[in-house]
Amino acid sequence: MSKFFVENNQINNDKINIIGESFNHIKNVLRLKINDEIQICDIKTKKNYLCKIDCFYKDYIECNIISEIEKDTEPNTYINIFQGIPKSDKMEWIIEKCTEIGVSEFTPTRMERCVVKIENNAIDKKLNRWQKIAQSAAMQSGRNNIPKIEKIIDFNEIFDLVKDYDIILVAYENEKEITLKSELKNIKNNENLKVAVIIGPEGRNKRK
């Protein structure tokens, strides 16, 4: 069943209005009809509703709430990925797949080996694009939360940002003993942890 997110002010008693890109997706992409059922999640309260499409208007769709769905799809561990900005559309793929497995937040990070340089006048457009991908992936995977895409930071800003995290994992290609699998085993039975994962870009060390 298709799932969509709405702002709290789009819900009025037993009615929900769908606008914007979700309106276009339902009408022109999915081509849903009156009486088709969809799932709608309130971004603010995280409540999920089973709804039936009642009417199509010029710029919005009115839905009737059938019932509230008791569903918690979020992990107990809060994960923020500090990702070195990679080439081409790899960041989009990273955001999509990591959203699907439960990552809570992404912080794009400029690092020494980053090949891509995003111009200042293109940053907002890029962040908006990444945020839309996170929302789409959250919808597709049935999540209740849309991961937040933070502003792009420089590497040295990480040190202040991770001070209140319980665990910090750094991906290092030359590590021989500690593996990601072993660290995940250590934390899997702990709840409500805040974990920072720091991952570099694909740039390699320069040869001397």
At residue 97's C-alpha, the angle toward residues 92 and 99, to 5°, is 95
Q: Rounded to an integer, what distance in angstroms lies between the CA atom of residue 144 and that of residue 40?
A: 10
Please indicate, yes or no, whether residues 131 and 190 belong to a single structural domain of this protein. Answer: yes
Identify the CATH number of the domain in which residue 115 sits: 3.40.1280.10
Last residue in a domain, options 51, 69, 87: 69
Least confident of 11-20, 89-98, 107-116, 170-179: 170-179
Please indicate, yes or no, whether residues 107 and 165 belong to a single structural domain of this protein. Answer: yes
Last residue in a domain, options 69, 93, 119: 69
Please indicate, yes or no, whether residues 65 and 101 belong to a single structural domain of this protein. Answer: no
> Phi then psi for 118, rounded to 5 degrees?
-90, 120
Please indicate, yes or no, whether residues 168 and 87 belong to a single structural domain of this protein. Answer: yes
What's the pTM value of the predicted model, to 2 decimals? 0.85
8 A C-beta contact, residue 169 and residue 181: no
Number of domains in the chain: 2
**Burial zone of 112 (CB within 10 Å; 0-12 exposed, 13-18 middle, 19+ buried):** exposed
* Residue 103 resides in a domain: yes
Please indicate, yes or no, whether residues 42 and 88 belong to a single structural domain of this protein. Answer: no
Please indicate, yes or no, whether residues 96 and 118 belong to a single structural domain of this protein. Answer: yes
Please indicate, yes or no, whether residues 59 and 84 belong to a single structural domain of this protein. Answer: no
Q: Domain of 111?
A: 78-199
Element (H, E) at 11: strand 11-12
Please indicate, yes or no, whether residues 108 and 38 belong to a single structural domain of this protein. Answer: no
Please indicate, yes or no, whether residues 98 and 193 belong to a single structural domain of this protein. Answer: yes
- Residue range 135-191, pLDDT digits in tens: 999 999 999 999 999 999 999 999 999 999 999 999 988 888 888 888 888 887 777
> Phi then psi for 148, rounded to 5 degrees?
-90, 135
Please indicate, yes or no, whether residues 9 and 95 belong to a single structural domain of this protein. Answer: no
* Residue 206 resides in a domain: no
Q: Rounded to an integer, what distance in angstroms lies between the CA atom of residue 51 and that of residue 62?
A: 10
Q: Which residues partner with 197 through β-bridges?
A: 81, 169
- Residue range 76-93, pLDDT digits in tens: 899 999 999 999 899 999
Query: Over 60: is that where the pLDDT of 104 sits?
Result: yes
Last residue in a domain, options 13, 47, 69: 69
Identify the CATH number of the domain in which residue 43 sits: 2.40.240.20
DSSP state of 113: T
> Phi then psi for 159, rounded to 5 degrees?
-60, -40
Q: Rounded to an integer, what distance in angstroms lies between the CA atom of residue 49 and that of residue 61?
A: 15
The mean pLDDT value of the chain amounts to 92
